[in-house]
């Protein structure tokens, strides 16, 4: 009897661990963490805001709930298309380990709770902006991916809104600093996402997603678009210094990072292969945390 009880306990523990893992996949934990990281950094960049562990944790939790809700809806909606692709076929809803109803229920509870936390501990403006971002990502961007490549432009708005949400959470205002931080992350998404779409083009095409700016797939036009957006990132990166958000040191760090991104995009234009696209992709992954942390560490106290 004792052995059977031990076996049952081990089995129950395994089921709980498997369910927790499924929920981590449902909310796309790594992606959500990156999004919320941007939100927290931009909150701390807001004038008059100093580091407060309680407020940072509350913002992080609220952000994870809202972002996780959007990602859960995304996976519920894209259950069939996710199942077609190698990179997404093992997601819990696509693989049948979790029902669409369970994903939608989780999304509803998480989304409402996250928005309420933003309202209760920060302000109504940041709560409404969080709700708008969730709606835009889950119900506009997600279905649009199968219709037209303009989905990338639409998706860049909820992708950059966490920066504005963080700023508004700290200031209660839609002031210029928040829009500058929004602009940096907004522009960054184009070379970042097009590089991902380039690398995973066959998978995305199989599922019917239209995510590259050219109908014929990875082309010189796509690479050129990446170069253009990377170039626009350069003057945008000067604005935090110009508007006295951060100092001279971070200005140079951001400038170097932007020039590095331009270089990687130019290399993609010249070489036109998956290897070069992968370089752009990984460069973009390291770009954002370096730039945001540089701005925060060189913040101008005001």
Whole-prediction pTM value?
0.91
Task: For residue 189, give the nearest of 146, 215, 154 by alpha carbon.
Answer: 154
- Rounded Cα distance, 18 and 161, in Å: 32
Residues with Cβ < 8 Å from 10, sequence gap 6 or more? none
The two tokens of residue 118 are 């933003």
pLDDT tens track of the chain, all 302 residues? Answer: 555 555 555 566 677 888 889 889 999 989 899 999 999 999 999 999 999 999 999 999 999 999 999 999 999 998 888 888 888 888 888 888 889 999 999 999 999 999 999 999 999 999 999 999 999 999 999 888 888 878 889 999 999 999 999 999 999 999 999 999 999 999 999 999 999 989 888 888 777 777 788 667 788 999 999 999 999 999 999 999 999 999 999 999 999 999 999 999 999 999 999 999 999 999 999 999 999 999 999 999 75
> Other C-beta atoms within 10 Å of 252: how many?
13
């Amino acid at each position: 009897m004792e052995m059977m009880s031990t076996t049952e306990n081990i089995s129950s523990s395994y089921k709980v661990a498997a369910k927790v893992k499924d929920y981590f996949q449902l909310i796309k934990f790594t992606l959500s963490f990156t999004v919320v990281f941007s939100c927290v950094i931009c909150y701390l960049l807001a004038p008059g805001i100093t580091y407060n562990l309680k407020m940072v944790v509350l913002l992080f939790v609220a952000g994870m709930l809202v972002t996780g809700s959007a990602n859960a809806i995304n996976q519920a909606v894209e259950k069939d298309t996710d199942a077609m692709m190698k990179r997404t076929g093992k997601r819990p809803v696509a693989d049948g380990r979790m029902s669409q109803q369970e994903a939608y229920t989780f999304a509803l509870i998480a989304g409402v709770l996250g928005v309420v936390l933003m309202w209760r501990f920060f302000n109504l403006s940041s709560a409404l902006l969080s709700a708008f971002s969730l709606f835009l990502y889950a119900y506009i961007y997600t279905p649009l991916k199968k219709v037209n490549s303009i989905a990338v432009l639409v998706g860049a708005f909820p992708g950059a809104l966490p920066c504005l949400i963080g700023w508004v959470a700290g200031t209660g205002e839609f002031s210029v600093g928040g829009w500058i931080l929004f602009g940096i992350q907004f522009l960054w998404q184009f070379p970042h996402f097009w590089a991902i779409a380039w690398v995973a083009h066959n998978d995305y095409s199989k599922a019917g997603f239209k995510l590259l700016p050219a109908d014929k797939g990875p082309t010189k036009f796509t690479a050129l678009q990446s170069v253009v957006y990377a170039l626009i990132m350069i003057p945008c990166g000067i604005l935090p210094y110009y508007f006295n958000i951060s100092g001279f040191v971070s200005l140079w760090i951001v400038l170097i990072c932007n020039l590095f991104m331009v270089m990687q995009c130019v290399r993609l234009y010249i070489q036109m292969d998956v290897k070069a696209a992968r370089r752009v992709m990984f460069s973009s992954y390291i770009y954002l945390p370096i730039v945001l942390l540089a701005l925060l560490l060189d913040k101008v106290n005001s």
